[in-house]
Amino acid sequence: MMIVWGKPTTFATTIPYVNTTIDWDDCVQLCYNFTSCVVAFQNSTGCNLFPFNSVPVIQKTNSTEGSIIAFKVDNSDTQCPSGTDAPTFNNQNATGYLFVTDNTVWFPTTVNYTISLAGSNWKISYTSIPMCSSSYTNFYTLPNGKSMCFVVYYSNSTLGLFQNSSLQTCKSINGNLPTVTSSVENGAFTWLVNLYIKFFKSSSFYVRIDGKRTTACQSTPKTAACMSPSGFTFTDPHFLGNFNYYNWTTNAGARVESDDDCLVLVFPSVGTSYVDVRSCTIKGKLQALGLLCVKDAWTA
């Protein structure tokens, strides 16, 4: 933290976080600990903390006026820099990096910001990258440490969703229908669908995932080759090439309707979902009333 003479020019459009019970030293420390805070300022209302996305223009003051402000900035040296007009020493922009995980953001977010001086005013500009885009609602972390964004869509009727259109829905948000690559992933899918289960128009339904039986295997679904991953096509680049984490209701050779060729998760489920091979369209008694989309975290 770098403490200088200064004050916010306005509070009209920027509402800071205010703590009325702490002194200035604790105010500076609180900003340091608050992952989204960039500027701290103390006035008659108390300790004012400004997150990266709501910092007003900061006006330079002097010792006569007495207003002080604290900037959170990066410093690669072990000693405080020297020069005029800190933190923009000798008119050089100051920079900072944040990894924001507090309640100012929905997803963990990386922020790079720049503090520049124009005349007697400091301005802060920033770029931010969330772990997941606004098209996704949640994320999970795989056993290998990789994080994935995911979302469930559901039909607003009892009529099911086609496999082809479900895939295009995921593609439209730069994602894919998922495969099941671990028990953690299966549990995450089950948890998310159950989170929204009250919005589904039936108590029993399927949720679309990736995997469609090849044309060649549609006439011989129960052969060993056709019950293996080679009997299906997948678009998910994370597919492991095996069915190790697929909990089948029967087996991969299931085929009742004439187009029971697409993989689905079966609901209701608790804890772990089972996989079945069901209609790619809307044939059959139960319908695919939902679909899952997944996407690598920290990607566009």
The answer on pLDDT for 195 being more than 90 is yes
Task: Give the model's confidence band at 189: pLDDT under 50 very low, under 70 low, under 90 confident, else very high.
Answer: very high
Residues 6+ away with beta carbon under 8 Å from 33: none
Average pLDDT over residues 76-104: 83
**Each residue of 18-50: pLDDT tens digit?**
877 889 999 999 999 999 999 999 887 788 999
Task: Give the model's confidence band at 231: pLDDT under 50 very low, under 70 low, under 90 confident, else very high.
Answer: very high
At 84 the pLDDT is 80
Is the Cβ–Cβ distance between 135 and 173 less than 8 Å? yes
Considering only CA atoms, which of 238, 288, 283 is closest in space to residue 258?
283
Positions of CATH 3.10.100.10 in the chain: 138-296
Q: How far apart are the first and last CA of the chain?
A: 32
What's the burial of 162, exposed, middle or buried (CB within 10 Å: 0-12/13-18/19+)?
middle
- How much is the pTM? 0.84
Class of CATH domain 138-296: alpha beta
At 168 the pLDDT is 98
Using CA atoms, how far apart are residues 249 and 212, in angstroms rounded to an integer?
A: 17
Percent of all residues in the chain with a pLDDT value above 90, rounded to a whole number: 79
